[in-house]
Amino acid sequence: MSAEMTVFFNNQLSEIERLGQIVNEFAERHQWSPQALFEVNVALEELLTNVISYAYEDTQDHEITLHLAFADGEMTAELEDDGQPFNPLEKAEPDLSTPLEERPIGGLGIFLARKFMTDLTYQRHDGKNLLKLKKTITNEE
């Protein structure tokens, strides 16, 4: 039973479905609570969707790497892509006090990812974008 795995995704939104399956299997193997699984799933969906949607200016195929690890009650995930420099964490937090008429349609994805992770950081290195996610996870009762 490895507590680490590396998965490669193509820059196609259809990959999000596969991401869900992979995270589900990983969570099951490590007996995460349904709540923890849900939160990790949403955070990774939001961040991978962002990469696929905004990191590439061309229409070529690109490989996005996800490294998942779990040890001592902490999940770490690293999402790496070779797209243009793009730090999703620079995005301003949404203003949740505005009425419906003034609410933008979107802008909640990165906010959800931040809320669901204990720690979320961005680095640009070797021509790649690297997002590091950390989350403290309690096992299923």
Contacting positions for other proteins (CB under 8 A): 13-14, 16-17, 20, 34-35, 38, 41-42, 45-46, 49, 94, 96-97, 99-101, 103, 105-106, 108-109, 111-112, 115
Nearer to other proteins, 41 or 129 (CB): 41
- Tell the smallest beta-carbon distance from residue 39 to other proteins (Å): 8
**Tokens coding 14:** 């259809």
d(CA 132, CA 137) in angstroms, rounded, equals 16
- Tell the smallest beta-carbon distance from residue 105 to other proteins (Å): 5
Nearer to other proteins, 115 or 124 (CB): 115
CA distances from 106 to 15, 96, 103 (A): 21, 12, 8
Nearer to other proteins, 75 or 113 (CB): 113
CA distances from 73 to 22, 27, 84, 133, 137 (A): 19, 12, 34, 14, 5
The dihedral through the CA atoms of 86, 47, 29, 117 has a sign that is: positive
- Tell the smallest beta-carbon distance from residue 72 to other proteins (Å): 25
